[in-house]
Structure 1
Amino acid sequence: MTFTFRATRPAAGGTALALAVAVALLAPTSPAYAAANAVPTYEVKINLTAAALDSAHAPSAAVKSAFGITGSAKARSYSYYDTDGLALDAAGWSVRLRHKSGSSFEETYKKRFPVTGGDIDAALTAANAAGFDSGDTNYEAEIDWGYAKQTLSFSTEKSHSASGYSGTAMPTSTTGRTWLVNDIPGKLEDWGSADWGKNTLQASRAHGPVTAKVYGGAWGPSDDASIEVLPVVGAGGTGTEYVVELSFKTDSYADAAELHEDAIALAETNGWLHHGDILKTQLILDRY
């Protein structure tokens, strides 16, 4: 048996239509590109020893002169909110309520990502995968660059009226928690699962308050230099220890690297350098 195949002529206009369909079927679909990684600013944070303080627990004249500190002391009080088991901290979140004299209350919600081996790009990529990218303008990306450790953080800030509160007075733990829960950002509210962050924050309490004094100035490539002197309760629950943090803010990685190197060298030369990183957030969560 013989089969004969015959080509049929398409109807007028059919060739163009068939070609268009074929092209549409064969053409690759355009991939959906994620937003680029965020671009961070930098804050260099170097801890100094008690040798950097005078008898009034303020930065000594020599320290101020060395690091361009010219401003007078400004007080600020703050507390961190977390559960007794520090569930927010374990998930890389910190929630802070801060009151600067003469200002509204600042509510800060911050998510941290570790920087391993100085690989900032890898940390930014990990943050991008978690939903923190250049397209989210509600959060500010920052690299905290300590003596030996770097941390990437994304923070968003809201405010609450300080009407009825004088100086740096803080609200009760319950009142502060209510403010923070009411203003919780979406990323924290549903972190990991629906309402996890909200439920966790509702079960939190104030760790603190603590009251620090901050002295401002400018040094090297940074026009935002400061020294914070923070008195905290001793590790045993009694007495007072003083945390002294020298910090510089800049938008430039190169400037941050220069500030980090020069500040360490100068503090070391003068016998003021604390060889390590004192994480204030962790210290307050642990001791209060």
Structure 2
Amino acid sequence: MTSVSRASRPAAAASAVALAAAVALLAPTSPAYAAGNAVPTYEVKINLTTAALDPAYAPSAAVRSAFGITGSAKARSYSYYDTDGGALDAQGWSVRLRHKSGSSFEETYKKRFPVTNGDITAALNTANAAGFDSGDTNYDAEVDWGYAKQTLSFSNEKSHSASGYSGTAMPTSTTGRTWLVNDIPGKLEDWGGADWGRTTLQASRAHGPVTSKVYGGAWGPSDDASIEVLPVVGAGGTGTEYVIELSFKTDSYADAADLHADAIAVAEANGWLYHGDILKTQLILDRY
């Protein structure tokens, strides 16, 4: 049997330590974060065709019955703010000013992260590495679950007095931009570099406003069901097209999965389903 001399043992031990260190450097490691991943809520968003509307461009009686929509129409107007070149959108940010009748203005600053192949955990890891984690209570995490696409978003919500504005009236582009710049959250302000977000938002303009009607209700495991009917200018700059969005909010992934499958099945069976995903933010940025 081969033996190792006492003199050679320290050298052998040192070599083993060095080898272990080298292997450790090459081995994959899990990312280390200061705080755990955020816990998202879920919003299922399914688009319907105009076959779901009655002659007055409201959800038909059959659609209301099928999806538990019982509320009357509530109006809301909103604009998205970005540069003409879409600098904020290119970085996954959207900035919205919205006015619901009888309410204060809502300022929403949202950062989006794509969900690939349904891997929400991977998207949450990416967001965590960018500073969006469970320790940041200024942002609400949500997974938007469309027909074929999922997106993770983090929203920072602020408000501005609607004094002097009746109904869903909106401010001028300049006034709205001033409000939004003054209230810009830190993550957007310094995204990609000091003052990048502030400088970019200062160079933005209002895309919109658009005014939609929202009808509420409850369906299945969601007590927050709604249908939004949004008229938008046609792609050629004339005429009117209608975006009809059926949505359900829930805190549960399992409930969201059930709502997604059931809503698609019911809409498909009745000839109401739009086979695709319409991102209202992008549509409004492109057409206004």
TM over 0.5, shorter chain: yes
Aligned residue for 1:88? Answer: 88
Q: CA deviation at 1:275?
A: 0.1
Query: Structure 2 vs 1, CA of residues 287 and 101 (structure 1 numbering), >3 Å: closer, same or farther?
Result: same
Q: The residue matched to 1:147 in structure 2 has which SS?
A: coil
Aligned residue for 2:50? Answer: 50
CA distance in structure 2 between the partners assigned to 1:279 and 1:185 by the alignment: 24
Query: Structure 2 vs 1, CA of residues 33 and 212 (structure 1 numbering), >3 Å: closer, same or farther?
Result: closer
Aligned residue for 1:40? Answer: 40
Residue 171 (structure 1) aligned with residue 180 (structure 2): no
State the number of aligned residues. 257
Q: Provide structure 1 residue ranges, at least 5 long, that are not aligned to the other structure.
A: 1-31
Aligned residue for 1:187? Answer: 187
CA distance in structure 1 between the partners assigned to 2:140 and 2:166 by the alignment: 29
Q: CA deviation at 1:95?
A: 0.1
Aligned residue for 1:29? Answer: none
Q: Cα RMSD between the aligned structures?
A: 0.6
Q: State the AA in 2 paired with 1:209.
A: P
Residue 63 (structure 1) aligned with residue 68 (structure 2): no
CA distance in structure 2 between the partners assigned to 1:279 and 1:137 by the alignment: 26
Q: CA deviation at 1:209?
A: 0.1
Q: The residue matched to 1:54 in structure 2 has which SS?
A: coil
Q: Provide structure 2 residue ranges, at least 5 long, that are not aligned to the other structure.
A: 1-31
Q: How does 1:123-162 map to 2 (within 5 A)?
A: 123-162=123-162
Aligned residue for 2:267? Answer: 267
Deviation by residue 1:59-117 (Cα, 9 ceiling, x = unmatched) = 00000000000000000000000000000000000000000000000000000000000
Aligned residue for 2:230? Answer: 230
TM-score (norm 1): 0.89
Q: The residue matched to 1:42 in structure 2 has which SS?
A: strand
Q: State the AA in 2 paired with 1:182.
A: N
Q: State the AA in 1 paired with 2:88.
A: L
CA distance in structure 2 between the partners assigned to 1:255 and 1:156 by the alignment: 25
Q: The residue matched to 1:235 in structure 2 has which SS?
A: coil
Aligned residue for 1:279? Answer: 279
CA distance in structure 2 between the partners assigned to 1:33 and 1:218 by the alignment: 38
CA distance in structure 1 between the partners assigned to 2:50 and 2:159 by the alignment: 34
CA distance in structure 1 between the partners assigned to 2:150 and 2:45 by the alignment: 10
Q: State the AA in 2 paired with 1:192.
A: G
Check the 8 A contact 2:79/2:98 in 1, yes or no.
Answer: yes
CA distance in structure 2 between the partners assigned to 1:37 and 1:82 by the alignment: 29
TM-score (norm 2): 0.89
CA distance in structure 2 between the partners assigned to 1:231 and 1:201 by the alignment: 26
Q: The residue matched to 1:244 in structure 2 has which SS?
A: strand
Q: CA deviation at 1:33?
A: 5.3
CA distance in structure 1 between the partners assigned to 2:217 and 2:191 by the alignment: 38
Aligned residue for 1:24? Answer: none
List structure 1 runs of 4+ shifted beyond 4 angstroms: none
Q: State the AA in 1 paired with 2:98.
A: R
CA distance in structure 1 between the partners assigned to 2:113 and 2:189 by the alignment: 18
Aligned residue for 1:98? Answer: 98
Q: The residue matched to 1:109 in structure 2 has which SS?
A: strand
CA distance in structure 1 between the partners assigned to 2:100 and 2:38 by the alignment: 29
Aligned residue for 1:197? Answer: 197
Q: CA deviation at 1:34?
A: 1.6
